[in-house]
Every structure is written in C-alpha cells, then in structure tokens.
Amino acid sequence: MMTRSIRHRSGVRKKPISDIREIATQFELGGTLIAADRYGRGHINDTYLVLVGRNGGETRFILQRINQHVFRDPESLMENIRRITEHLRSKITGSRSCLSLVPANDGSYFFLDEEAGYWRAYQFIEGASSYDGVANTTQAREAAAMFGRFQSLLGDLPGPRLHETIPNFHNTPARFRQFHEVLERDAHDRARHCAAEIDCALAYEEAAGALQALQDAGEIPERIAHNDTKLNNVMFDEHSDKAICVIDLDTVMPGSVLYDFGDLVRTAATPTAEDETDLSTVRMRMDYYEALVEGYLSTAMGFLTETEVGNLSMAGKVITIETGVRFLTDYLSGDEYFRIHRADQNLDRCRAQFALAASIDGQFDKMLKVVDSVAYRSES
Ligand code: ADP
Ligand code: GN1
Ligand code: MG
C-alpha cells in the first residue's frame, strides 16, 4: 500500500503510515494489533477487519475509510452517527444491538490521515452475519421489523435536525435529472451499449416521481430514516434467523421512511442477486412481500400515517426504478460511484433492477391488497 503520513486533527504531522495496520493503531483498540484485512461487500466505503490480541484472547474491530467522493462532509456525518448511536444505546440493551464507535487515540470519533482521508472504527458485532439475499420469509420479516423499530427508536432523537449527508439522496426526479445530464454528455461513449435500458428508464420516469410529489405536497411527513436498507445492512444472529442490529448508518438523515421499506422490497423479496444476468429469474416474490409488510408494520404501524401505509407498495416500485437509474447513470459516467468487480457490472445491476420493477408492476394490485389486509386486519 501507498505510504501515508498521519496528521492528527491538530494538523501536527506525526509519523509515516506504510499500511492499514498503522491506521488501525490510531484507534483505542486496547491490545496488540495482529492483522488488518479488507472485509465486506459494501459498494461505498473501504472496510477492514482488524484483529487485536487482548488479555490472552482476540478481539475484532471494523475499520472503515469513509468514501469522500460520496460523503462530502465526513465530520458532519460522524456527528450524526455519534448522536444516533448514543440515542439508540440509551434505549436498547445488549452490546450486539447497536453499532458502537471506537474512539481514536485523541478521543475523537474519527482519524484524519495526511491525505485528508477520514477513518472510523466500530466494535465488531460478533456471532452475526449479513446476507446479500434472504434464505426464507422469516429473515425478510425480521429485517423489516428491525428497520421499523430503528425508525421508531429514532423518532424522538433530541437536538437539531440531522445533517443531510447526501442532499436529495432519494429525490427520484433529481436522480433522473442527473441521468439526463450524464446521458447528454455520454463521456465514455457507452450510451450505444445500453439503448434499451435508456428507453426503459425514460418510460419509467413519470411514474417514479410519485413519492417525491407527495413529499413536496406535504402529504408524506419528514422523519428520520435509514435510507440504505438493503438487506446486507442488517446483521442476523448466526445461529438463528433473528435480526439483531442495523448497520451502515452513513445515510441516516431526515427523509421519508417509505424508501426504507421500498429498499427491502428491492433486496429481500427477490431470489436473485442485485447484478443477476439471467433476467428470466428476477422477480418479486409475493410471499416474501407479505412477510416484509407484516414485519415492517409490526414495529412501524404505530407511527405511520394512512398515506404512508397506502404507499408502501409504491415505495418498492419507486426505489427499484431509482436504483436502476442510479446504476445506469454510473455506468454512463464510467463507474465512478458504486464499487464494481467486473466490467459492465453496473449495467447488469441496472438491468436486474428494471426486470424487478417490471415484476413489481405486474403484481402491483395484489401488493396493494396485501398491505390493506395486513394493516387493517383487525378492522375487517
Ligand atoms: P458500505 O457503506 O460500504 O456498505 P458497511 O458499513 O455496510 O459499508 O460495511 C460493509 C460490510 O461490513 C457489512 O455489510 C457487514 O458485513 C460488515 N460490517 C460492517 N460493520 C460491521 C460491524 N460493526 N460488525 C460486523 N460486521 C460489520
Ligand atoms: C450502496 O453502501 P451500500 O453498499 O450499503 C448505496 C445505496 C444503494 C446500494 C445498491 C451511500 O449501498 O444507496 O441502494 O449501494 N449507498 C450509498 O446496492 O449510495
Ligand atoms: Mg452497506
């Protein structure tokens, strides 16, 4: 790895950093560093697993470099995370039920290296796993209940409004505007490789603005939402199907909670990977959808308005289209936002999202009925 130098917040240059191990020792790990290696499958941050020897045993930590192309103001982001984790911790018990930041040696919750890279560390959540796809409907129900609970717990976060770590993150019309700009430029001459996907995006554009229109009209309230509820951002107990902890808090900020439910539909109601290339297998499974609705409403029904409940199905559709458009935009931009592991992966991701959106469309009336029957079960 490239040689780096450490600059503490004071700006004082300390000593050269030759590898990730030296970054790790900038945090209060309470023992001797054994190893630090790349970890996880997130698309955004650089994540490392840090192993530390302590009291004759071993302790693990997660070390992450915040992606500053995506998050332009890491200090505000870390302020959000500190407030969110402290609030959650004051309301729930169990060391595995909430992310815990590990302080840097100077007491702050991040470390700034000489190249202005921001790093943070978390306690490792032991005995747990995150999955890219669900194995059964219990996991889907659990994940949805966990995110509903997360939203509910943050409903009374004291203090000022959280920082918007990415402005207009789920403003779908704004996402389409970015798409049009990038398409117009076509800087990598890729539009000719994705004419069908471009047409598909354009065909979806009007329908995909539905939730933002309701937000603009004040018909959907602003609440604190997670905003990135794809399935692998919740940890499951490794011996059961129980969801135990919500992770990846970088986008927790004010918005509509509907997108949180929607992203679960996108990632936990389908049997296929996000970049599935056999599009004939991509579909929304109604039994999983029902499990998501049941799980989510079991913890969120108490605070949702009727309009929010009535738009849960729409949220699944909108976020699937929005995410497809984001992947297509990134493909046209030369893959500068989402981490890719092979050529054309963002285009494959886009195609799979649009195939899923078509499957959702085809089952939409049934989805509306499922929500009605679960939400108002006791009234009928
Ligand atoms: P990204 O923003 O890149 O998605 P995440 O914060 O989601 O980064 O972390 C990437 C992966 O690392 C997660 O999917 C999860 O598997 C693992 N991970 C993150 N934080 C922890 C933690 N505190 N304990 C255990 N595993 C973690
Ligand atoms: C990113 O960070 P990660 O991998 O959990 C992205 C989400 C997308 C998702 C698609 C900050 O999530 O918005 O839905 O990829 N996060 C950010 O897989 O843009
Ligand atoms: Mg993640």
Lowest-pLDDT range of 13-22, 251-260, 265-274, 324-333: 13-22
| φ and ψ of 338, to 5 deg | -85, 135
Residues 250 and 154 in one domain: yes
- Residue 233 CB–ligand 1 contact under 6 Å: yes
Residues 292 and 316 in one domain: yes
Domains in the chain, number? 2
Residue 198, pLDDT above cutoff 60: yes
Number of Cβ within a 10 Å radius of residue 373: 12
Average pLDDT, the chain: 94
| φ and ψ of 32, to 5 deg | -100, 130
Given this model, what pLDDT does residue 22 score?
A: 92
The pair of three-digit structure tokens given for residue 28, joined into one six-digit string: 């209060």
The fraction of the chain above a pLDDT of 70, given in percent, is 94
**Sorting pLDDT into bands at 50, 70 and 90, what band is 41?**
confident
Residues 81 and 48 in one domain: yes
Residues 176 and 212 in one domain: yes
- Residue 20 CB–ligand 1 contact under 6 Å: no
Q: Which domain holds residue 153?
A: 137-379
Residue 218, pLDDT above cutoff 70: yes
Among 39, 41, 44, 130, say which to mutate for ligand 2: greatest number of ligand atoms within 8 Å of CB.
Answer: 44
- Going from the Cα of 42 to the center of ligand 3, the distance in angstroms, rounded, reads 5
Average pLDDT over residues 52-68: 97
Residue 120, pLDDT above cutoff 70: yes
The fraction of the chain above a pLDDT of 90, given in percent, is 92
Residue 9, pLDDT above cutoff 50: no
**Sorting pLDDT into bands at 50, 70 and 90, what band is 379?**
low
The dihedral sign for the CA sequence 156, 161, 164, 168: positive
- Going from the Cα of 47 to the center of ligand 1, the distance in angstroms, rounded, reads 7
pTM for this model (two decimals)? 0.94
**Sorting pLDDT into bands at 50, 70 and 90, what band is 95?**
confident
In the three-class reduction of DSSP (H, G, I as helix; E, B as strand; rest coil), residue 228 is classed as coil
Residue 244 and residue 123: Cα distance in Å, rounded? 15
Average pLDDT over residues 130-148: 97
Query: What's 61's domain CATH number?
Result: 3.30.200.20
Residue list, ligand 2 pocket, CB within 6 Å: 42-44, 70, 228, 230, 233, 248, 250-251, 274, 323, 338
| Domain end point (choices 70, 102, 126) | 126
What ligand has the least distance to the C-alpha of 263?
2
